[in-house]
Structure formats: structure tokens, C-alpha cells
Structure 1
Amino acid sequence: MRTQKKSSSKKKKSAAFLAAGVIGLATAGGAYAYWTSLGGGSGTASTRAGADNVFLVTGGSATAMFPGDSAQTITATVKNTGTENYKIQAVKAYVTTNKSNCDGSDYKLNGAVAPLTEATAVSLSVVPVDLAPAATTTVDYTLQFNNKATSQDACKGATVTINYIAS
């Protein structure tokens, strides 16, 4: 009986070594077996709401204007006052004054009669650009007194305000 146990034990050891060798060869040779399947699921993320009115537009000043005056080039600077990047895509402008009977129509923006209200504001040529926080870009345009055929005495000493709308 002892002989049978030794023989059986040797067979078990040989089988174990053989199995380990086969597994070792299969692993070393890169042969793996696997199943394929499909799956699905979902994840979530969020974005910030952003802020309103992050663009601050400031314009250079013109020298005193008068009938028959030449157009003056003005440079307006657009600044991102937000804490994230925002893309400036457009800058519009209209003209108001502090005098009665003197309004935007007494002035020209880029050679055309200036609009009087936000609703009729004209587009200034700005290059769309992604602005980082505190970054700036500029837009140039011309401003001129509109020399009408009628008296424009109401505009004497007027303070002319260029109102900007940036988006």
C-alpha cells in the first residue's frame, strides 16, 4: 500500500507541475481568454452659471468737435472683469449728450449718423477673441461732428457720451 501512495503522490505532483507549466507558458506567450460584452451607464458633471455684465468698455476721448471738423479715431478698450474666460463677440455704440435739442444725430460714428438709443446701436468692428480674466482687447472707430444744414447751436458746449454695449 505504501507503493501505491507514493505513486499516486508522484502523479499528483507531476500533474501540478505540468498544469503550472502550461499556465506559465500561456501567460508568457500572451495568450489570454476573455469574454466580450456590452454595457452602459451614465455619469454627471456640471458647469458654472457664468456671470452677467463681465465686459467693461472704456473709450478714449476726442478733442472738442465743431461743424466741418474732421473725423477723430477713438480707441475703446474692452476688459473681462469676470473670474473665467469670456469671448467678446461684438461691441455696439450709440451717442447721447447732456444738452436738449442736441443728440446722436448731431454726430457720426464711423462716417454714419450716430444712433440715439441702445436699440439702434451700431456695431463697431471688434475681432472676436477669448478673454482671460482681467485681459483686454481694443476696438477702433471714428467720431465726428455731423455738419447739418440747420443750426446746431444747441450742441455748443455739449458733453458727448459714447454708450457701449459689449457681448
Structure 2
Amino acid sequence: MRTQKKSSSRKKKSAAFVAAGVIGLATAGGAYAYWTSLGGGTGTASTRAGAGNVFLVTGGSATPMYPGDSAQTITATVKNTGTENYKIQAVKAFVTTDKEGCDGTDYMLNGNPAPTSQATAASLSLTPTDLAPAATTTVDYTLQFNNKTTNQDACKGAAVTITYVAS
């Protein structure tokens, strides 16, 4: 009987090895099946509202102006006072004074009579720039007294204000 048990035991071992080999080959050969399907869903996110009036523009005339003087080059500095990056797209300017009878047209902005209100403000040459918080960029322009053919005594001693509009 011992031979029968050995023979039966060998057959069982062989069958187990063959079964293991078949399973191994099946998994190694990628014999997997699966279903495909479609799905969907939604997610949410938000953005900050941003702040208004984050650009601070400064710059002004270096010397007092008078009839017949030369154009002065002015450098205006634009600073991002916000806490996030903002893109400066444009800077415009207009001129006013503290004297009646003396207005922006008594001055030349980039060679043309200066506008006198925000609605008519002149564009200054600026390359749109992404500004990080506290970062700055500059824009240059010229300003001079407009030597008109009419009496301009009203402009004597005038305080000239250059108002910038940044966007």
C-alpha cells in the first residue's frame, strides 16, 4: 500500500503544480476581464473678489514751468499696493490747476494740450505688466507750459496737479 500512497501523493503534487502553473500563466498573460463605463460629477472652487484702487501712481514736474520753456520728461511710478498680483493695463493723465482762468489746456502733455478731466484723460505709453504686491513699474511722458497766443497771466504761480488714472 505504501506504493499506492506514494503514487497517489505524486499525482496530487503533480496536479497541484499543474494547477498552479495554469493559474500563474493565466494571470501573467493578462487574462483579466472588466467592464467599462462612463461617469461624471462636479466640484467647486472660488476666487477672491479682488480689491479696487490698488495702483498708486506718483510723479510730477521737477521745475516750475513758464511760456517758452522746454518739455520736461516726467517719470510716473505705478505701485501695486494690494496683497495679490494685479496687471496694470493702462495709465492716463489729465491736468488741473488751482487758478481760475488757467486749466490743463495751458499745459502740454506729450506735445498736445493737456486734457482737463478724467473723461478726456490722455493715455501714457505703458506696456501692460503683471505686478506682484509692492512691485512697481514706470511710465515716462513729457509736460511743458503751452505757450498760447493769448494772455496767460492767470497761470502765474499756479499749482499744477497731474491726476493719474490707472487700470
- Tell whether the structures are fold-level matches, with TM greater than 0.5: yes
CA distance in 2, matches of 1:15, 1:81: 81
- State percent identity of aligned pairs: 84
Aligned-residue offset at 1:65: 0.4
1:69 maps to a residue whose letter is D
Q: Which runs of 5+ in 2 are unaligned?
A: none
2:164 maps to a residue whose letter is Y
Name the SS for the 1:105 alignment partner. Answer: helix
Name the SS for the 2:58 alignment partner. Answer: strand
Name the SS for the 2:48 alignment partner. Answer: coil
CA distance in 2, matches of 1:57, 1:14: 89
CA distance in 1, matches of 2:15, 2:137: 79
Q: 18-27 or 141-150, which moves further after superposition?
A: 18-27
- The Cα offsets for residues 108-154 of structure 1, whole Å up to 9 and x where unpaired, read as 10000000001110100011000000000000000010001111011
Name the SS for the 2:105 alignment partner. Answer: helix
Aligned-residue offset at 1:25: 3.1
- Which structure 2 residues correspond to residues 13-162 of structure 1 after superposition, within 5 A? 18-30=18-30, 32-162=32-162
2:118 maps to a residue whose letter is E
Aligned-residue offset at 1:36: 1.7
**TM-score, reference length from structure 2:** 0.87
Name the SS for the 1:25 alignment partner. Answer: helix
Matched, 1:166 2:166: yes
Quickly say closer, same or farther: Cα 1:48–1:26, change in 2 above 3 A: farther
1:89 maps to a residue whose letter is Q
Aligned-residue CA RMSD in angstroms? 2.3
CA distance in 2, matches of 1:161, 1:85: 29
Name the SS for the 2:119 alignment partner. Answer: helix
2:117 maps to a residue whose letter is T
Name the SS for the 2:47 alignment partner. Answer: coil
- The Cα offsets for residues 25-80 of structure 1, whole Å up to 9 and x where unpaired, read as 34444554322211111111111110000000001433110001110000000000
Q: Which runs of 5+ in 1 are unaligned?
A: none
CA distance in 2, matches of 1:48, 1:15: 69
2:84 maps to a residue whose letter is E
CA distance in 2, matches of 1:44, 1:17: 55
Name the SS for the 1:154 alignment partner. Answer: helix
